């Protein structure tokens, strides 16, 4: 089987596994309200969480109590909590009204025996996540703060940039806090970088969009960075 995986820009949902819809009769269904916790730090679930509807944020709680965003999962995404790691301190919280199906280890084995192709879909999902976080880890070591932010914006432009005559628009709601968490920066640093980009009339970030005024300059700065 050959499958070329696309490179994910944001840690959001990754590859879906809709085939699991055929087996929800084997699992346990549960509804969650917005803000409700599905898994707390240190809690051992031993289940695969299959999102039927809604959205969840997966975060890690540090030893000093800070919450570090890891990724989010929407409809038909898989949150693998079969295996627990000592000290991983992961929490999963519904950020909108959601419904999930829990599958135990034995139930997953039953699914895999019945439909072997689901194994590939599941492994594909895990591989994409692994690739994303390895790439992110390398970028945190290789690139300066401003380059990391610029690479994020340029990646989003390549993914979903729309020409609007005098500028390019990326329709996305991307708070500074999320940019900071993705790029491993402090939100104040992100604000300073965005301020410099706006001052230089390269791009500006609105509530629900990123406006690129000078695409060529953005391309040029991706490897150089910008003073802030």
**CATH code (residue 118):** 2.60.120.10
**What's the pLDDT at 118?**
93
pTM summary value: 0.83
Q: What is the rounded CA–CA span in Å between residue 39 and residue 119?
A: 25
**What's the pLDDT at 42?**
84
Same domain? For 154 and 98 the reply is no
Structure tokens at 16: 């879906």
Burial grade of 173 (CB within 10 A; 0-12, 13-18, 19 or more):
exposed
**What's the pLDDT at 75?**
95
Q: Which domain holds residue 197?
A: 143-221
Considering its fold, how many domains does the chain have in total? 2
Same domain? For 37 and 70 the reply is yes
Residues in the chain where the model's pLDDT stays below 50: 1
Same domain? For 87 and 169 the reply is no
Q: Which residue in this structure is represented by tokens 């020409």?
A: 163
Question: In whole angstroms, how far apart are CA 99 and each of 36, 94, 181, 205, 216?
Answer: 12, 9, 26, 33, 44
Q: Which residue in this structure is represented by tokens 């992110």?
A: 136
Domain boundary among 110, 140, 170: 140
Same domain? For 151 and 128 the reply is no
Q: What is the rounded CA–CA span in Å between residue 184 and residue 102?
A: 31
Residues 61-87 pLDDT 10s: 888 888 888 999 999 999 999 887 877
Residues constituting the chain: 228
At 209, phi and psi to the nearest 5? -165, 155
Same domain? For 135 and 156 the reply is no
Q: What is the rounded CA–CA span in Å between residue 48 and residue 99?
A: 14
Contacts of 85 (CB under 8 A, 6+ apart): none
**What's the pLDDT at 171?**
93
Same domain? For 186 and 162 the reply is yes
Same domain? For 35 and 120 the reply is yes
| Within-domain flag for 2 | no
8 Å CB contact between 111 and 20: yes
**What's the pLDDT at 131?**
92
CATH code where residue 188 lies: 1.10.10.10
| Within-domain flag for 59 | yes
Q: What is the rounded CA–CA span in Å between residue 60 and residue 163?
A: 37
| Within-domain flag for 189 | yes
Structure tokens at 139: 């970028």
| Within-domain flag for 11 | no
């Amino acid at each position: 089987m050959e499958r070329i995986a696309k490179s994910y820009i944001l840690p959001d949902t990754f590859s879906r596994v809709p085939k699991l819809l055929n087996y929800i009769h084997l699992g346990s269904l549960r509804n969650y309200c917005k803000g409700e916790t599905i898994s707390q730090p240190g809690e051992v679930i031993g289940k695969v969480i299959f999102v039927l509807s809604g959205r969840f944020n997966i975060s890690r709680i540090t030893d000093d109590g800070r919450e570090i965003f890891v990724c989010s999962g929407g409809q038909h995404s898989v949150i693998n909590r079969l295996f627990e790691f000592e000290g991983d301190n992961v929490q999963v919280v519904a950020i909108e009204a959601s419904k999930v199906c829990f599958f135990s280890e034995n139930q997953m084995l039953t699914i895999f025996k019945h439909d072997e192709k689901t194994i590939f879909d599941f492994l594909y999902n895990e591989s994409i996540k692994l690739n994303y976080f390895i790439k992110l880890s390398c970028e945190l070591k290789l690139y300066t703060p401003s380059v990391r932010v610029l690479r994020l914006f340029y990646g989003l432009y390549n993914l979903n940039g729309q020409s609007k005559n005098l500028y390019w628009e990326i329709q996305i709601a991307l708070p500074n806090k999320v940019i900071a968490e993705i790029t491993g920066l402090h939100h104040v640093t992100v604000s300073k970088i965005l301020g410099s980009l706006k001052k230089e009339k390269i791009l500006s970030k609105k509530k629900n969009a990123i406006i690129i005024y000078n695409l060529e300059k953005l391309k040029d700065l991706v490897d150089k960075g910008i003073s802030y």
